[in-house]
Chains A and B, each alone.
Chain A
């Protein structure tokens, strides 16, 4: 009996077009994903990054993972459908009385569905495998077909997940007899999965995530998170440990569900239903033997006027909305969506453990998960409302009423929009509740309304139009929803850009977003945003008219009938409406196209590549040409916040600092209108407004020591409603000189991918010169055309704003209704300056004789004291240990997060994003995260030394001198404030970032002294090793070395200092026994693999504790791709442990517990550096207090990919 049901099921699927449609969708999706990643569209779009193997086992797993959302939406229509079919056509009433067992019935149904799903997902593998080798793909990106990699994905993830999700969906549909319930189940499951993803982002929680992820990918991620490029390209994913446990756990759950289904299922005629109200049962009696009635209908008014029809449409939409809101899918999805929002509110924007205040702009944002729930509701209910009458067989009652087609479509459309309003309203309400729960009472209701309904809503509205079209066309709500989700996801990926469709005007629903900042509101983003919204709504109306033409009324017509129906409907008013809308759509589209292509020429990414190549080919030979250098800068900038325009200009004093005469000057300028004039006679050799590069011949050569003055003017193209041609904001302009003013000489730049370079006949990219290249030390990292300059500027802005630039305020005045500020610096600075203008409040303080100011947006007072403390702490630390502060003033200036979430150090001026520290929600308790309002300030303030006093030559390793040392200061100041035993918390984030990012570096990792613009080295690793070194040689010794280094190199002219010189000072300060640390930390990539093996303690008769420790130490070097080497290796006794030769000092720590005021705290009982010379080590330590845990390098000062096993609990041995 099993076999015949099974066979019948299969033959059902094999005759259904749906099965083939699914196969084709997945085949095409996989083909596209694979061939695009293998560079098949490099001809029409930008080339694919060329260092990663795209079909490596981990990449294939990643692709399956990214398609998993789509895969799980198969389950309701296959697993669910297999049982639902019998209910839907009421077959169950007959079937269930047949003589087969429920085991036969259920297993045949389930296994046949599983087989069908397996066949469909098999097409993903086929699509990928074929896609990678399609003609036109780049064979350097791929390795030969590897069956094991594919088999691994299927056996470990895809099939078990189908089993798990399938059994859940199967159970739900079986018992609810409702396909929608199955659909909702998968959405809820994927939301739960998203939820765990969010909850478990913190490195501490990754093991938990590895268990909880039902799809199992987090478990894999746990092992692969620190993989290097080489490992990612080559290794097969493991199938051990957490992955195995995860699979066993979830498969057991699947088995449990299946067993429960088997046990509780019976062949009954009624669906299982739940009700909270108790139903009273009564004997049902029929009483229909009434008299013959007189049929006398009351006289009522019927009205079919247009106005009445509109009213009816509105009424119907309310009835449809009521249906949606009362239905379970909506309730469930919104509930889960809201839970997601609340969870994310408490997790989002967490920087090093510290969150953000629940400001309204953050509350009105919702996660992609909620957005997804909303869009799925939109798709699903568009389908359900359209198909509802048909699905419940009420079709003919409704369709014979005189209601017009457009009223039906319109009312359903309105109902879906109202549903979206309800969901967005719930975002607002939950946001306000969350704010209240956090004790934050600044509810900006109008901002909520504008953010949710004024802007976010429209994206959903636009997709609603498409949903109505597709759902009307496809006539099956579930298949329609699947198709729409596929479209939605395909549009969200960069897939379209990769096949060469880059312009938003060609991609349905796409357009510029809006951005909000407390300082600038929605600012200038709205006009272009609404222009695109109108454009897409016009397109949407065409679709809605299309749906109106396609809409079924009565018996579903055949294809031929449908076509003739469309023809007969497409006339009269509909035709006129369609044509008018089409005209509107096309003219709006043309206007946008004109703006983006004709008025402002646009280059596709492919063209940009060619353009970058041409830049290098045409002017590359000027690289390194000797040019006069800027010695004095005097600029002006007039900011017009009302019209968003600016007019700027200034003069550069240029001096020939070289030993030869200079006869040509090169000017590279920005994309704004610019004009130039020299104070000596010149001849223009070439003026290139495409590449913004001019060449001038000096009539009289500039002799060594001579100078020339360049005057220039810069202003912006007039703004239009579609494009902003100026960086000025109405409140909170933040500009730096790179964005505005010209530079001297050929600045370099160009293509970075060697594969692409080869295509254009360019040589492979030369990495930054290494620090030992003395010929390359003529420029410092921050400008190629100046050393130290005199600086002076006049900035003007509107009356209600304050404008700020580096230097000291000389004069402030009002002229023609505008405010003017004249700033001048009293000492030479780097050629680096910024301009800010906004309505500011000012907080003032001072440290010794340095005046401190914070210019902030009203309402952002929360962390001003912390920032003040940060400035003071950094000033105190740096002037105590390194050198005096070079200015008399330090200022923090808030700028809108529109420009980013960062802070940046300019001379005596630190522009600081509103999203960075001003609204941080710092938790000062024991478990709180890092106070980043404080520590970012410390870092930026430290740059006044490490960048603005000591500036490295523009060679590899320079990042350490600025970012590495500034961050070192940050760590030291944190230690001062919070104590050495808290440092594990601070080091953890930096080490984790370093370990994760080194695996994604396509350049290849470098040792610290050769760091080449690699943030994970210059910030993360450099600060950790500098801090570790200070721990080894002592903070005072370390800072004394740094102080003599500063003394030697501060404010120096070329040749500039390098990382090598820094390391020389550090080496000199280190004893012989620790010289190896310099080699390991700075000059090579060295990692440890330390592990505690065994720890026991025994209480002795004298009350002492005897602690026995056993631990392993292993050290290895890594090459730039991450391959490990062990040199003249040592072998350990235990397992296959190897190590470089050891004569290393490692912290051994023993920790006890101390209870104070009911709170148990860990305290260090013992912390000593021990010299270690072998892999396996044993130690015995006597202690006066009871030990709880022990660790080797317990504070993770050394870099170790597996840091958790450094510590363990002590086992107590009873006497």
Chain B
């Protein structure tokens, strides 16, 4: 099913325009929503997840008019917020039963089957009797996935789920997401480019409440092929280089020199080598382009 966003705008009471006349279409598969902190990712996802109303615009998912029939959407929605808490002193099993009830699972045996299976999928079965409020960050995030699965969702929204996870947790988490993302529409917001690289079939870069780029990752990389260059410079020369080159990123290396990557249609002046384009290059390039427009 297709999620379609038309001319969405949301301005908060403090005057911040979090979503600015945004239109976007998202089909089945993993969709990566990339953007820096404060870009409006969470606002957009909360709006899709029926947690807040936009000022203007329309939202549909398949036949469902999300703004006017929130309940219909909620029936097929799986949402994992950026951060969440749970009722204290309650076990994962109890809470999942509770949420399964809220999600309309009718019979007790069904609930039990479903809850046990989600606990297995998220590898929480052994700790199902433990209070979720005492879980570690990774376990809690897995609990988030478990609850999300309870209604066999068609639209899954996960908001920066990998932030703060250790490498093993992150990898495991991404695997589960990939697994469930094959049949549903999954919107996955992150500011970690690697997540998108590893997972997504479609992506968009968001900043200042607007979509800056909407493309398939492979296409992006093809587009950038031959236009990204890397080199090493003295840190003191960074500013000078930035004024003459479109510097996408810079990293210190062990020698206290800077490895930098620049964008250029032709071979840039200086000691640069052609580099294999990376999604990160696309990301930084897009953000920079936008900044230039604003400036």
Asked if B277 lies at the interface with its beta carbon under 8 angstroms from chain A, I say no
Q: How far is the CB of B160 from chain A (nearest CB, A)?
A: 13
Task: Find B74's partner among A298, A392, A401 (CB 8 Å cutoff).
Answer: A401
The smallest beta-carbon distance between B167 and chain A, in angstroms, is 11
- Whether the Cβ atoms of B71 and A295 lie closer than 8 Å is no
Q: Which residues does B use to contact A, with CB under 8 Å?
A: 13, 46, 49-53, 70-72, 74-75, 77, 79, 81, 83-89, 98-99, 101-107, 110-111, 113-114, 117-118, 120-121, 123, 136, 138-139, 142, 144, 147, 149, 151-152, 168-169, 172, 175-176, 179-180
Main secondary structure of the interface of B (DSSP, over half): helix
Across the interface, do B88 and A392 meet the contact criterion of CB distance under 8 Å? yes
Knowing A292-B179, A297-B118, A298-B113, say if A398 contacts B102 (CB, 8 Å). yes
Return chain A residues, CB-CB under 8 Å to B152: 297, 300
Of A25-33, A486-494, A554-562, the stretch lying at the interface with chain B is A554-562
Q: How far is the CB of B4 from chain A (nearest CB, A)?
A: 19
Contact B81 A302 (CB under 8 A): no
Check A288/B46 contact, CB under 8 A, given A293-B121, A302-B106, A315-B101. no
- Please pick, from B77, B85, B172, B180, the residue contacting A400 in the complex, using a CB distance under 8 A: B77
CB pair A288 B149 closer than 8 Å: no
Closest to A407 in B: B102
B258 to chain A, nearest CB (A): 33
Closest chain A residue to B85, Cβ basis: A393
Chain A interface size band reads 35 or more
Q: What is the chain A residue whose CB lies nearest that of B49?
A: A400
Contact, CB under 8 Å: B98 / A400: no
Which of B70, B104, B149 gathers the greatest number of chain A CB atoms within 10 Å? B104
Residues on the A chain within 8 Å of B176, using CB: 292-293, 295
CB–CB B105/A300 < 8 A: yes
**Chain A residues with CB under 8 A of B172:** 288-290, 292
**Contact yes or no, A392 B85, CB < 8 A:** yes
- Give, as a whole number of angstroms, the nearest-CB distance from A293 to chain B: 5
Please name all residues of chain A whose beta carbon is closer than 8 Å to the beta carbon of B52 when the two chains form the complex.
554-555, 557
* CB contact between B106 and one of A301, A399, A403, A561 (< 8 Å): that residue: A301
Tell me the bound Cα distance from A404 to B101 in angstroms: 12
Give chain B residues whose Cβ lies under 8 Å from the Cβ of A599: none
Q: Evaluate contact between A400 and B50: CB separation under 8 angstroms.
A: yes
Cβ A397 vs Cβ B99 within 8 A:
yes
A-B residue pairs, 7 tightest by C-beta = A554-B51, A393-B85, A300-B110, A402-B74, A401-B102, A303-B106, A400-B79
Q: Say how far A528's CB is from chain B's closest CB, in angstroms.
A: 42
**Residue contacts A-B, CB under 8 angstroms, 14 given:** A288-B142, A289-B172, A293-B176, A298-B110, A312-B104, A323-B87, A395-B84, A397-B81, A398-B102, A402-B102, A553-B50, A554-B46, A554-B50, A560-B13
> How many Å from the CB of B13 to the closest CB on chain A?
4
Q: Which of A729-759 contact B (CB under 8 A)?
A: none
Instruction: Kindly report which residue of chain A lies nearest to residue B13, judged by CB atoms.
Output: A558
Residues of B within 8 Å of A393, CB to CB, are 83-85
Bound complex: CA A290 to CA B124 (Å): 11
Residues of A within 8 A of B85 (CB): 392-394
Q: Within 8 Å of chain B (Cβ to Cβ): is A565?
A: yes
Question: What is the CB-to-nearest-CB distance from B273 to chain A, in angstroms, rounded to a whole number?
Answer: 37
A555→B147 contact, CB < 8 A: no
Which of A300, A394, A557 is B84 in contact with, Cβ under 8 Å?
Answer: A394
A443 at the B interface (CB under 8 A): no
Task: Report chain A residues within 8 Å CB of B151.
Answer: 302, 401-402
Which of B49, B77, B81, B87 is in CB contact (< 8 Å) with A392?
Answer: B87
Tell me whether A404 and B71 are in contact in the complex, defined as CB-CB below 8 angstroms, given that A290-B123, A397-B147, A554-B51 are known contacts.
yes
B149 touches A555 (CB 8 A): no
Is the CB of A316 closer than 8 A to any CB of chain B? yes
Report how far A928 CA is from B175 CA in the complex, Å. 81
Q: In the complex, which residues of chain B have a beta carbon less than 8 angstroms from the beta carbon of A301? A: 105-107, 110
Contacts of A404 in B (CB 8 A): 71
**In the complex, what residues of A have CB within 8 A of residue B149's CB?**
295, 297
Contacts of A298 in B (CB 8 A): 110, 113-114, 117
Contacts of B142 in A (CB 8 A): 288
Measured CB to CB, the nearest residue on chain B to A391 is B85
Whether, in the assembled complex, A685 has its beta carbon less than 8 Å from a beta carbon of chain B, the answer is no
Q: Give A266-299 interface residues, CB cut-off 8 Å to B.
A: 286, 288-290, 292-298
A388 at the interface (CB under 8 A from B): yes
A510 CB → nearest B CB, Å: 37
**Chain A residues, CB < 8 A from B104:** 302-304, 308, 312, 402-403
Q: Is the CB of B179 within 8 A of A293?
A: yes
CA gap between A481 and B71 in the complex, in Å: 31
Please give the distance in Å from B86's CB to the nearest CB on chain A: 5
A389→B136 CA distance, assembly (Å): 20
A356-399 Cβ-contact flags toward B at 8 Å (1 or 0): 00000000000000000000000000000000110011111111
Q: How far is the CB of A1076 from chain B (nearest CB, A)?
A: 77
Min distance, Cβ B108 to any Cβ of chain A, angstroms: 10
* Known A298-B114, A302-B104, A554-B51: A397·B179 in contact at CB below 8 Å: no
A319 at interface, CB cutoff 8 A: yes
Given contacts A293-B176, A300-B106, A398-B99, list 11 more A-B pairs with CB under 8 A: A286-B136, A296-B117, A297-B114, A302-B75, A304-B75, A389-B87, A393-B84, A394-B84, A402-B72, A402-B151, A561-B53
A295-B149, A298-B117, A554-B51 are contacts. A312–B101 as well, Cβ < 8 Å? yes
